[in-house]
Structure 1
Amino acid sequence: MSFDWSEFEHVTKVDPAKRLPESIDVLRHTDAVIVGGSDGVTEENSLAVFERLRAEFPDLPLVQEPYRSAHVSKRTVEVADAVFVPAVYNGDKTNFVEKHVGFFTELARKSEDVTGSGLPFVGSVLASKGRELVAELADGVVGEGYVVQNPDSKVAGLTNVEEHYTPEQVAGAALATESFYGFPIFYIEYSGRYGGPEDVSAAAPFLDETALLYGGGIGSRAQTDEILDAGADAVVVGDCFHEDTERFLETVPTT
């Protein structure tokens, strides 16, 4: 699915390992949902979230952001509109090149759980029709240039981020995302802490085709507006959706 980010300003990140609010009706006020997390996420709880979201909001764009390939299956791919895979620039190499090669290696090795049964095999590698189906699956995978700016966060620990980038380095990462790697998304992640507009302002001038997303600590409309005014295409809101749906509504920009 191709996303028109000019129509998106507010994205909700739903963690499948966390309990959903009793009513998720507030999601009618968001533009898209990313399903993903790092702790306690499984294919099963991811699929359960996708199925509930799709049942209640059939036209809402839904994205899976898996931390590892085990979270992805034929069923999750069928219900999601895309799979976003982060490339963490300021993490270690395991969370950049090695992670992506490993991710696609696992896709190539999976059989029934990803591509369906009855496919021809040559050794452990899918052959003929099997390769075509895996290639079709891979076409739905979208790379994200990703900068983790809160070294004390759980995601920083998992990706071995020891230092945050300076605004100048964020600008360089943004430029590399669009001009070198060709990723359609650049994501500035503060993970539970509001980082303000400085990094967004540094990155925005270097992105024309690539969408700029900011996530972390958004808890008010004023913060949403500040980030959007600095040049972000969309804010990503997660914690307050799970914790306080009234406060979540306060993060939705007025249009």
Structure 2
Amino acid sequence: MQHLFKLDPAKTLPDGAGERLIRSGTDGFIIGGTDGLNLEATRRLFQEFASSHLPVFIEVSDEAMVIPGASQYLIPMVLNSTNVNWLIGAHHEMVKQYGAFIPWPHVLTEGYCILNPDAKAAQLSEAKTNLTTDDVAAYASIAENMLQLPIFYVEYSGRFGNPRMVQAAKSELTNTKLWYGGGIRTEEQAREMAAIADVIVVGNILYEDFEQALATVKTKR
């Protein structure tokens, strides 16, 4: 797996986009968002893509994302948050409420490192974003060696990131997969980050320039 499209239930894709995305050559889809989420919109979006042969991941950042049937459920832990709620607090409450119904074999935990201070996700999670490459490398090492997370996610959310930061994370990872998301709007940007990260995630450009979004799939190795 090298390329994923991230679909936001609070946004509207162009007419006919679903079929074209399924046939685009991408490796799968993440359904997730930060605000304006509701359960019915999430369910409609999931049903549109669930019939494809591709995996559909649901990122559980809100109760509106709790629907059955996904290939995997992604649980974000914001490692550089200054608010413990985004590291473990919300997860504790979720397990208290829904623990008996959680399909644990289908759950993957993502260790997020959010680096764009202007991003809604950074503001909501109170992330410390003024990090050095050494800081990012340390978070990546924690994700792999202390927490043994399957995914370390370098997230710039709306802004194209610094490849040096992504490379710093990559240098610390052997078993944990490095995902990168944020600001990929061109094939060249996709290619640059795909040369470092194990998986690139393409999101906002789907709603800004659909044809450009499709072009990012060409970077798959």
Length-normalised TM-score, structure 2:
0.92
In 2, distance between residues paired with 1:235 and 1:81? 18
1:51 aligns with 2:42: no
- Tell me how far apart the structure 2 counterparts of residues 158 and 106 of structure 1 sit (CA, whole Å): 22
5+ unaligned residues in a row in structure 1: which ranges? Answer: 1-7, 109-130
Q: CA deviation at 1:177?
A: 0.7
Q: State which structure, 1 or 2, has the greater radius of gyration over its C-alpha atoms.
A: 1
Question: 1:248 aligns to what?
Answer: 213
Partner of 1:175: 141
CA distance in 1, matches of 2:53, 2:129: 39
Which residue number in structure 2 is paired with residue 28 of structure 1? 23
Q: CA deviation at 1:32?
A: 1.2
Q: Structure 1 residue 156 and structure 2 residue 149: aligned?
A: no
> What is the total number of aligned residue pairs between the two structures?
216
Q: Which runs of 5+ in 2 are unaligned?
A: none
Cα drift, residue 254 of structure 1 = 5.1
Q: Which residue of 1 aligns with 2:36?
A: 40
Quick one: which amino acid aligns to residue 214 of structure 2? L
Separation of aligned partners in 2, 1:254 and 1:142: 23
Which moves more between the two structures, 183-192 or 155-164?
Answer: 155-164
Which residue of structure 2 aligns with residue 95 of structure 1? 86
Compute the TM-score of the two structures, normalised by the length of structure 1: 0.80
Name the counterpart of 2:97.
106
What code does the residue aligned with 2:39 have?
A: E
Runs of 4+ in 1 over 3 A off after TM superposition: none
Per the alignment, residue 5 of structure 2 pairs with: 12
Q: CA deviation at 1:199?
A: 1.2
Contact kept? 1:174, 1:206, Cα under 8 Å? yes
8 Å Cα contact 2:3-2:220 kept in structure 1: no
Q: Distance in 2 between matches of 1:63 and 1:161?
A: 24
1:13-58 deviation digits (Å, cap 9, x = unpaired):
0000101221221342211100010111122111110101123xx2
C-alpha distance in structure 2 between counterparts of 1:150 and 1:240, whole Å: 17
Match of 1:63 in 2: 57
Matches within 5 A, 1:189-208: 189-208=155-174
In structure 2, how many angstroms separate the alpha carbons of the residues matched to 1:170 and 1:27? Answer: 34
SS of structure 1 residue aligned to 2:171:
helix
For the residue of structure 1 that corresponds to 2:4, the secondary structure is strand
Give 3-state SS (helix, strand or coil) of 2:68's partner.
Answer: helix
Q: Percent sequence identity over matched residues?
A: 36
State the Cα RMSD in Å. 1.5
How far did residue 162 of structure 1 move? Answer: 4.2
2:200 is aligned to 235
Partner Cα separation in structure 1 for residue 140 and residue 115 of structure 2? 14
CA–CA distance in structure 1, aligned partners of residues 194 and 209 of structure 2 = 22
Instruction: Give the match for residue 188 of structure 1.
Output: 154
What is the CA-CA distance between 1:68 and the residue it aligns to? Answer: 2.0
Q: Work out the CA distance in 1 between the residues paired with 2:6 and 2:65.
A: 16
**Alignment of structure 1 residues 104-143 onto 2, 5 Å:** 104-108=95-99, 131=100, 134=101, 137-143=103-109
Residue 69 of structure 1 and its aligned partner are, at CA, apart by 3.4
In the alignment, the residues of structure 2 paired with residue 66 and residue 209 of structure 1 have an alpha-carbon distance, to the nearest angstrom, of 23
